Amino acid sequence: MTSKRSPVRTVLSLSALVAGGLLFGTPAFAQGLPGMGGKQPVEINADQAIEWHQDVRAYVARGNASAKRNDSTVFADVLTAYYRETPGKGNEVFQLVADGNVRIVSPTQQVYGDHGVYDVDKQVAVVTGRDLKLITTKDVVTARDSLEYYEAQDLTVARGDAVAVRGNDRLRADVLIGRLKKMPDGTTQMERIDGSGNIVVTTPTDVALSDKLVYSVADNVAVLIGNVKITRGDNQLNGEAAEMNMNTKINRVIAGRDAGGRVSGLLIPGEKNGGDKNGPGAPAGKKP
């Protein structure tokens, strides 16, 4: 017969659990986890137990575990912190692991997955599992294989059928790389997204295909490179590169050398295409 256990709660100092950051205690993916830095204590909660495994040098919180500092919290079925003994410094945590129903929550975003690992030395966080998802105030990012954050490089990576959605616009690629910019107030913002492999850009009026993508978040402009095809209704334009302005809805298609310096396309007379009577875009240097 099993008995119910009361939730276990403790408060650990930075040196005890997080030398270098609480589990994913760095800007996580797109907008960052504010309030996780500094020397504030970390509050650990668990329904079952908080254990100290001296043989493997690990702290383990089990059963609906959570670790909180300021406004940011990591949730998981099990949270584990692996540490090493360093002469003159005491115990230093070098790896933090979250297993089962992983959720990382801050005031600006939430990350979901099944398994998470933060390498303190390399400053790299990786979340894997089913239904990977990052939700911010403006965007939703999903991936099949992993969501990753590289703190030193200010990079986030979504791998495997990666999709980023903002409003009615959608970016899809085999790999999406988000480049972050540090702001004066200490937060981070997404500055640019690079995509590679099987690019699909979808807007309310257009569908574009290409090999590579560079998307400027501030300008809301996507640059497509390699085997570009843009369609609007039955109209279609092909080229080696294109620029899609998602604010003005104007596309510029550029011909490559293989096309003899020309853009190829199929324009259907009288085709309705979102108010543009001249097809999905305009060749570079020509007015639509």
CA atoms within 13 A on the CB side of 151: 20
Write down the pLDDT at residue 180. 83
CA 217 to chain centre: 14
For residue 239, what are the CA distances in angstroms to 82, 208, 231, 236, 276? 52, 11, 12, 10, 19
Q: Beta-carbon neighbour count of residue 5 at 10 Å?
A: 11
Taking the model in full, what pTM does it have?
A: 0.76
Domain boundaries, the chain: 8-145
CB–CB of 210/198 below 8 Å? Answer: no
Which residues fall within 8 angstroms of residue 230, CB to CB, at 6 or more apart?
A: 206, 207, 208, 209, 224, 236, 237, 238, 242, 244, 251, 253, 280, 281
Question: What is the CATH number that goes with domain 8-145?
Answer: 2.60.450.10
pLDDT in tens, the chain (288 residues): 433 444 555 444 333 333 333 333 333 333 332 223 344 566 778 999 989 899 999 989 999 998 886 777 889 999 998 888 888 777 788 888 999 999 988 877 889 999 999 888 888 889 999 999 998 878 899 999 999 988 888 889 999 999 999 889 999 999 999 988 877 876 677 889 999 999 999 999 999 999 999 999 889 999 999 999 999 888 888 889 999 998 888 888 887 665 455 666 556 665 554 444 444 554 444 433
pLDDT tens-digit series, residues 125-139: 899 999 999 988 788
Write down the pLDDT at residue 35. 29
Q: Which of 263, 267, 265 is nearest to 255 (CA)?
A: 263
Token couple for 264: 């190829």
